[in-house]
Chain A
Amino acid sequence: MKNENAMKKLRHITQDYTMVLFLAALFIVSLISVPRFAEVGNLINVLMQITINALIATGMTFVILTGGIDLSVGSVAALSGIVSTSLIQLTPNAGIPMSLLVIFGTSLVVGGICGAITAFNIAKLRVPPFVATLAMMSIARGLAYVYTNAKPVFGLPDAYAWLGLGYIGPIPVMVIIMIIILAVAFLILRRTCFGRYVFAVGSSEDVSQLSGINVKRVKFYVYIICAVLAALAGAVLSSRLQAGQPAAANGYELNAIAAVAMGGTSMSGGRGGISQTILGLCVIGIINNALSLLGISSYWQTIAMGAIILIAVIFDQNKKDL
């Protein structure tokens, strides 16, 4: 009986077991057949490798749940990395607190501004999300190049690297950040009215509107959340790389969308959530890690990513009819 309840709960959280089983199978096969995969160091490595994608994919989950899409996340991340590293250059003696302040402050401001512009275009001016975020993708990337003259921002204080490279005990700092962000996002989507409205808007804008939900405001916030998290990912990436690269995070929108779709969140909105995205992130992380350990070129990983998105969406489309 207790077991049955637990199963029911698991089913409720993930909406179906297929992905859980797939992840479990993938994990076991990798444990057995991929050399060095099972080492603790490698497993922590997997977590570090998915962190940047996890931050972006979390925001992307909000957007996709409303039935939208955000293609600008990679560019916004790059711009944020540039701004953050340029700011920290101004204070060469900065300690860890100052670095954190710069990183989080930049994320809020750069992400907030980019997100607000995108959100305004989509919610108020009714520009389709695809177009509005494609435009922002181009603008933010362009700004990153113009501001740096296409040169990387180097020579950062050592403390700036703590977030991206440091550890608290055995756990990397950025993994802790990822876990906090995922947990907060999970609670927002599951436990708050705003989270419920995100699902409602994605299920049907008409019904939401007629039930008294401020549809425009919900849409507005999801694009801001997505851009702020993308900006955070970019700043964390710059900390990890110890440099601000205008070409950084190129194509990351694809990874994020792949993680969301892979988990089973519907691309047309309304169904899915953070637990699904976590599943997707783990699957993609393990596949990439295993391919690397097996010595397969990273170009193949790109091909795998494309195939993953396709398979996930085909699966989702055909599941709906059941």
Chain B
Amino acid sequence: MGQKPIVELSNINKSFPGVKALSDISVDFYPGEVHVLLGENGAGKSTLIKIISGVYQTDSGSLKVNGEEVRFMNTREGLAHGISVIHQELSVIPDLTVAENIFLGREPKIAGTGLIDKKSMNQQTQEILDSIGVKISAKAMIRRLNNADRQMVEIARAVSQDSSLVIMDEPTSSLSNKEVDALFTVINKLKKNNVAVIYISHRLKEITAIGDRISILRDGQLIKTALLSEISEDDMITLMVGRQMTQFYYRPEKEAIKDEIVLKAEHLTRSGVFEDVSFELRRGEILGVAGLIGAGRTEVMRAIFGADKLDGGKCSVFGQEVHFRSPREAIKAGIGLIPEDRRGQGLLLQKSVKENTSLASLYANSSHGVIDQKWETDVARDYIKRLHTKTPDENARTKNLSGGNQQKVVIAKWLVAKSKILIMDEPTRGIDVNAKAEIYALMKEFVENGGSIIMVSSEMPEVIGVSTRIMIMREGRVSGMLDNTDVAEKDIMKLASLNAG
């Protein structure tokens, strides 16, 4: 590679309050090369591409484009230097045509008037589409295109802006195999046109198929940059996860686990989201559910809880077959869901600790629908004390509590509702270390008192440290079930990210 790099990063540092997101990253990106970024959730990939594209600014270190030092204050400045990003969530407007999307905000005008020169716009668009080998009409409405074609439109837009570096963030997460092949053809065209590509994906098979060079990130540090021809898949996984296990083990005692099966899922299917998911949950058990973001874990849990419809399969709770049409029925059967999006789905932020604590059991403890105010206040105070929730009093708005204390309020809600099965989706996301430990202790206490927990988590140390068994999901299917006696992160990562076979 005798060429000069298009983008050079040297000694990049970036911190957010309480977290060091990137430390001392130095890496170069060359034209005509696909450079893969690999790392676990939270390893720093997103922060890195946001710095390159101008969303974030570095704390220290330098960013050079074509040998010239730059500091982008926003993405528009990045774009002006030829850097464009294709996000996981596509940002095309459904009710405009392909051409209108590609030229949005910089439409060619008919000279002397303010009118858009549609003819020239469509013609230019078609040329771009042809040049990257995409067979879509410039006049097609985006709404009528599938996801893969929409992505091609985004790529065409990047090309039309004369981008010299195109960043693709998990571009294949919603594509079928055939569509992935088409995407790769386009990427190869880009390479030929001497465009640099940064490619983020967790799918190792794809990475080896399309990548030229790989950089592996872990905990905000660049672990290794290598040519893909010189590194094995096994090495990639080891480098990606090889971190020291932190010192917490809150796994319940084996004796606590009973033979009784409290929840049994058989062949659960929601078309296009997850398929043929089967597992059993025993009394006193914490079942960890690992997998990459987008593997369908949250969706399975929502469906079990009655929040989304199932297309197939059946579910039994405490030995009885159930078909929940709403969360209300699931709650009656003794299930509680602690959602991933705590602030958006777990708590009424404008309401008090008291009102949130009683929300799911208000009616059951009322007399003919009239709230028992004494009960409500007592139970709220009781759980503030039992869970050591830090709040001025039970009337404080939950909005003003810290993440860990907010989560305790959500947990209290289900304890008050006498849930026997808790589904916890990323229970400690965004929570500081001490509060984490408290949440784990609560989970342990809950199962040792006869409850059962399904814990969805993307944090490996958490999955390994807390669960008794681990179910791994990949692309909407169960890809493995491990007894957590001697599990290494590597084993889980393999099941979570390798394609079958």
Contacts and interface: CB of A to CB of B under 8 A. Distances in A.
Interface of A is mostly: helix
A36 B417 CA distance: 58
B328 A207 contact: no
* Interface range on chain A (Cβ under 8 Å from partner): 20 to 34
A214 B347 contact: no
Contact of A200 (B330, B359, B371, B417): B359
Interface in B151-198: none
Contacts, number: 75
A211 interface: yes
6 contacts: A193-B369, A207-B348, A211-B327, A212-B328, A212-B360, A212-B417
A187 to B, nearest CB: 9
Contacts of A211: 327, 331, 359-360, 413
Interface in B442-493: none
B137 interface: no
A210 B351 contact: no
Contacts of A5: none
Interface string A192-208: 11101001100110111
Contacts of B413: 211
B366 interface: yes
A191 B371 contact: yes
Scoring A196, A200, A206, A270 by chain B CB atoms within 10 A of each residue's CB, the highest score goes to: A196
B200 interface: no
A203 B350 contact: yes
B337 A271 contact: no
A14 to B, nearest CB: 15
A203 B330 CA distance: 22
Interface in A112-146: none
B268 interface: no
A23 interface: no
A199 B331 CA distance: 20
A5 to B, nearest CB: 13
A213 interface: yes
B370 to A, nearest CB: 5
Contact of A203 (B328, B337, B351): B351
B344 A204 contact: yes
Name the residue in B330, B339, B350, B363 with the highest tally of chain A Cβ atoms < 10 Å from its Cβ. B350
Contacts of B344: 204, 206-207
Contacts of A207: 344-348, 359
B327 A212 contact: yes
A209 interface: yes
Contacts of B395: 12
A204 B348 contact: yes
A199 B350 CA distance: 10
A210 B363 contact: no
A213 B328 contact: yes
Given A191-B370, A191-B371, A200-B359, A210 B350 contact: no
Nearest to A201: B348
Contacts of B339: 210
B371 A203 contact: no
A203 B360 CA distance: 15
Contacts of B417: 212
Contacts of B363: 193
Given A194-B369, A212-B331, A206 B345 contact: yes
B349 interface: yes
A218 to B, nearest CB: 12
A210 B337 contact: yes
B303 to A, nearest CB: 13
Given A199-B351, A204-B344, 6 more contacts: A12-B395, A191-B370, A191-B371, A203-B348, A207-B347, A210-B307
